[in-house]
Amino acid sequence: MRPRARPLTPLERRSVAGLAGIFATRLLGLFLILPVFALYAEGLSGYTPFLAGLALGVYGLTQAFLQIPFGMLSDRLGRKPVIAVGLLLFAVGSAIAALADSIAGVIVGRALQGAGAISAAVVALVADLTREEVRTKAMAIIGITVGASFLGSLLLGPALDSVIGVPGIFWLTAGLAGVGLAVLFGTVPTPTAGPPAGSRRPVRAEFLLVLRDPALLRLDIGIFVLHAVLTATFVVLPMTLVRYAGLPGERHWSVYLPLMLASVVFLFPLIAAGERPRGFRPVFAGSVLALALAQGALYLGHSELPYLLAALFLFFTGFNVLEASLPSLISRTAPSTAKGAAIGIYSTFQFFGAFVGGAAAGWMHGRFGLASVYAGAGALLAVWFLVAVFTPPPARLTTRTLQVGRRAPAEARDLASRLAAIPGVAEATVIADEGVAYLKVDDTALDDAALERYSTPA
């Protein structure tokens, strides 16, 4: 019988709330300029439309290059120090962008904002501080917070621009990085049994282990497509609403807000359905299909407001489900001793997708027209849908830590083999110098008595 779903513990709630707050403040800082930067950029020296697009998207490029190093460093140095350094880099980049009077200066600032590549370390810390059986729920909470930050940026950006201007918004983002640091050290617990320190595979071997895993690679490609489509859509969507729906920029919130709230109503029921044994594939592939249909509706009916509203509802619904589900799938699929590396690669695909989506959308819009962006995004989603249809559901495993006593390396390898042979144990890693075994187990099939025979007092 499948174990009953468990609620978050008080410690897990505090951890998730704090880390969601760090995600939210940082992403709010990145996204606040999206609805207002295009007009501001026209007054900067050296402006061209391509450079303005590059200024918006370049943070994704630096994020993409640095997620893997930051994720792997978090496996060795700890999550919190890596997150703190990333927030400081983000604050410095925000200050440079605020002081810049040229488009080149803003590009440098935005690139440095992206250099604070903490997403992998934050998601890995969520995985460290939550049980596997509640991790999808934890990621969903963070996903909703991230979505709220994105929506908040669309609503607050124009209002803040009218009061403090775009340089003031950049200064505000620097302040938000400081808030993130306060939350990190004042609210978020430090894991008592985090990733085993400094003793595992060489960096190259660990990197290749997760990069060659077909299940992880499918998820990496999925997040690349999701964020490429998201960025590409919002390169042209504001212009679509102005040109064809007759809505000035300051009224776009009246479209985004009700549609985003309506889509969130369906988020938890869909996630719950996807957690059932036969529900994963219909929900996962169906969400990708919803995004593809939304792009098709935008392509065919972008000049008609009803089609626009229906398309955006489908888009927000599919996006929210996938944005909440994919990080959990990565953390559940990755080897227990290389979660930071796996999530680092995943985040690299995510942010490189944002960069490619923005750059490609700008080029396609200029070369072939606005509708071509929706057509290109729809084609990309159609390919992902074919992959999603054949994506198997993740194994329903939980994580256990077993005290086994300090051992010589050869004894630890032998013990890992014996633990892995116990019914219900899917993965066993023994850290010799810590006397700890990290296990992934199927609770429904686990031979607890056999496992406890290897346990020693802490």
The residues pairing with 196 across neighbouring beta strands, listed in sequence order, are: none
In the block, residue with structure tokens 């995943």: 346
- Report the distance separating Cα 222 and Cα 231, nearest Å: 14
Query: Tell me, what's the pLDDT at 241?
Result: 84
Number of other residues whose CB lies within 10 A of the CB of residue 4: 6
Distances (CA, A) of 169 to 38, 39, 257, 348, 405: 14, 14, 21, 26, 54
Q: Tokens for 336?
A: 């227990």
| Predicted local confidence at residue 100, as pLDDT | 93
φ, ψ at 428 (rounded to 5°): -140, 125
Query: The tokens of 379 are what?
Result: 């084609």
**Domains contained in the chain, CATH given:** 10-389 (1.20.1250.20), 398-452 (3.30.70.100)
Give the C-alpha separation, 259 to 267, whole Å.
Answer: 13
Q: What's at 357, amino acid-wise?
A: G
pLDDT at 193: 46
Q: Exposed, middle or buried by CB within 10 Å (0-12, 13-18, 19+), for 209? A: middle
Which structure tokens are listed for 164?
Answer: 């403090």
Residues with pLDDT less than 70, the chain = 1-6, 38-39, 132-136, 140, 143-144, 147, 151, 191-207, 249-250, 277, 336-341, 395-397, 432-434, 457-458
Q: What's the rounded Cα separation, in Å, for the pair 223 and 226?
A: 5
| Pick from 74, 185, 195, 174: nearest CA to 129 | 195
CB 164 within 8 A of CB 115: no
Quick one: pLDDT at residue 286?
93
CB 357 within 8 A of CB 365: no
